[in-house]
Amino acid sequence: MPDIDIRITGRAGRITLTRPKALNAMTYEMCMAIDTALRNWREDDAVDLVIMDAEGDKAFCAGGDIADLYATGIKGDYGFGRTFWRDEYRLNALIFEYPKPVVSFLQGFTMGGGVGIGCHGSHRIVGESSKIALPECSIGLVPDVGSTLMLALAPGRVGEYLGTTGHRMGPGDAIFAGFADHFIPIAEWPALIEMLEASGNAELLNSHAATPPESELEQQQPIIDAHFAGESLGDILNTLAHSDQEVSAEAKKLMGRNSPLSMACTVEILHRLRGPSLTQRKALELEYRFTFRAMEHGDFLEGIRAQIIDKDRSPRWQFADQSVPAVAVSKMLQPLGQDMLTFEET
């Protein structure tokens, strides 16, 4: 497949995304190829670990390739999108639960679907250029691909902040928020990958980890906690409206571009997930309730039209006054019955 290179090198299963001109955006076919490889290698004694990386300097993976989703959805065909998200989420769970080390090298942009394949493994490496973000609310989705698990586990209310603003995390931020494990200068990556391939030993990474840059998020957390602790999106926006701090002003600017329905559902998802019953599968199942309905009842198609198709950057969101009724959130997140996300292997 021209978009992805899957092979075994030494003791390592190797997955390299090869669409640098498209910022290595994930297609459905790429998703399924990774799924097949991981299932094959799971029982293969010749494979000790899995290494994921990508060609190009700009991005590990800037998200899912949404052209086909839009093309089918705009015709009233929601089946392709639902199948894409279902199978993608099953892959995210497979990576999270994988019995062998999964090492990902996350240069440049890692966003949306890139988080789903790059940030659920056991060893997540960032470098100087790494920028990790969840900008889904800007296209009428919610942070998905299992990212709500990490958002719910992030310190304080950092999860609500990242999920509703789409703030781009540098390497220090990503480690602080729980989206990455080690900072290693990018110049060292090729030699390190060769060592991992030869040895099959992921513990080598520990001795190469360097001190990450300072995290702005960590410094801003007290302010974020104070402004993003509300029970609903309305509470958060009300608190931000009465603040003159720089962090608040930037948050209001970012949130002003996003779908109010998506942001309200993001806040609700994180509140539902927090607690002793939090699991990756629970996060994915709750996300799927939203994405299953996103084309038909949410703002997804309008978000793609405004950002990607017409590029007018003027989406006509539902609840444009940012006042989202609780019933609208409940409708997007109610159980799907027989359509609920399951994880049985076929």
Active-site residues, by number, are 64, 113, 136, 144
Closest CA to 134 of 63, 190, 69: 63
Q: What is the 3-state secondary structure (H, E, C) of the chain?
A: CCCEEEEEECCEEEEEECCHHHCCCECHHHHHHHHHHHHHHHCCCCCCEEEEEECCCCEEECCECCHHHHHHHCCCCCHHHHHHHHHHHHHHHHHHCCCCCEEEEECEEEECHHHHHHCCCCEEEECCCCEEECCHHHHCCCCCCCHHHHHHHCCCCHHHHHHHHCCCECHHHHHHHCCCCEECCHHHHHHHHHHHHHHCCCCHHHHHCECCCCCHHHHHHHHHHHHCCCCCHHHHHHHHHCCCCHHHHHHHHHHCCCCHHHHHHHHHHHHHHCCCCCCHHHHHHHHHHHHHHHCCCCCHHHHHHHHHHCCCCCCCCCCCCCCCCHHHHHHHHCCCHHHCCCCCCC
Burial of 275-306, coded b for 16+ CB within 10 Å and e otherwise, reads: eeeeebbebbbbbbbbbbbbbeebbbbbbbbb
- Specify whether the CB–CB gap between 132 and 179 falls below 8 A: yes
Give the residue carrying structure tokens 């300072």. 214
Strand pairing category for 12-17 and 59-61: unpaired
Give the residue carrying structure tokens 């390190």. 192
